[in-house]
Amino acid sequence: MNIVLLGAPGAGKGTQAVRIAEKYGLVHISTGDIFRANIKDNTPIGQVAKSYIDAGKLVPDEVTCEIVRQRLEKKDVSAGYVLDGFPRNLIQAHELDKFASIDVCLDIDVDEALLLERICGRRVCSCGASYHISTLNGKDTCAKCGGKLYAREDDNPETVKARLATYNIQTAPLISYYGAQNKLKTVMCGTKTPDEVFAAVCGLLG
Ligand code: ADP
Ligand code: ZN
């Protein structure tokens, strides 16, 4: 099963992607994670991506599509994958249809008012775990690996507003794109807890 996860920044795509991948034996592919790893290693891709990410804009399609195309050529994706953060506009969606066959698009629906609060309170660990300050009780270490938690550089109010605008203009049209292909499944309860959202996701995926 090949899944595309749609949802605004802060909708919980990453959190759900990890769980879906585990339960259904799929590979989790996050373009955001790939870019952040490249920025950390200061690769040519990282150098290009950084300015776009800091501005809340999309990294150019040629770069992004090529990364995903190469990733999907690896053997480990044969059992299926969850794409988290790709495609993010219609060009990427058309491109993806040339080299992949998507079975289902899960759209996690969350009120915009909540997104800002969620992202600005987000703390992450280098192991991939993600938390919200409201449940950390002042702790700053990862419950999974003991690593030090930090805020992502693009999780500041200014960049978040730009990311939300980018989502509304460029990514939201993908909901109709996958709807027209009869692949769309909408998770209506995106504002609920991760466990509740995951239960709904499993209900939709069967
Ligand atoms: P979020 O969904 O919370 O915004 P991501 O980790 O998915 O976080 O993405 C972070 C940033 O990485 C985006 O704001 C964008 O700049 C860049 N990015 C991620 N995926 C793509 C993509 N498919 N196309 C272009 N840019 C991307
Ligand atoms: Zn950790």
pLDDT, tens digit, for every residue of 87-108?
Answer: 999 999 999 999 999 999 999 9
Kindly report, residue by residue over 179-202, the tens digit of the pLDDT: 999 999 999 989 999 999 999 999
Token duo for residue 190: 């995106």
Q: Is the pLDDT of residue 113 over 90?
A: no
What is the helix (H) or strand (E) element at residue 124, kind and residue range? strand 122-124
Which is it for strands 122-124 and 130-132: parallel, antiparallel or unpaired? Answer: antiparallel
Report the alpha-carbon distance of residue 96 to residue 111 in Å, rounded: 28
Q: Which atom of ligand 1 is nearest to the CA of 84?
A: 7
pLDDT in the model for residue 25: 98
Pocket test for ligand 1, best of 28, 88, 155 (most atoms within 8 A of CB): 88
Distance separating alpha carbons of residues 109 and 31, to the nearest angstrom: 20
Q: Tell me the two tokens of residue 2.
A: 């090949």
Tokens representing 152 are 């992502």
DSSP letter for 77, please: G
Question: How far is ligand 2, taken at its centre, from the CA of residue 125, in Å?
Answer: 5
- For residue 6, the surrounding DSSP H or E stretch is strand 2-6
Protein residues with C-beta less than 5 angstroms from the ion ligand 2: 125, 127, 129, 142, 144-145, 147
pTM higher than the cut 0.85: yes
Atom number of ligand 1 nearest to Cα 13: 2
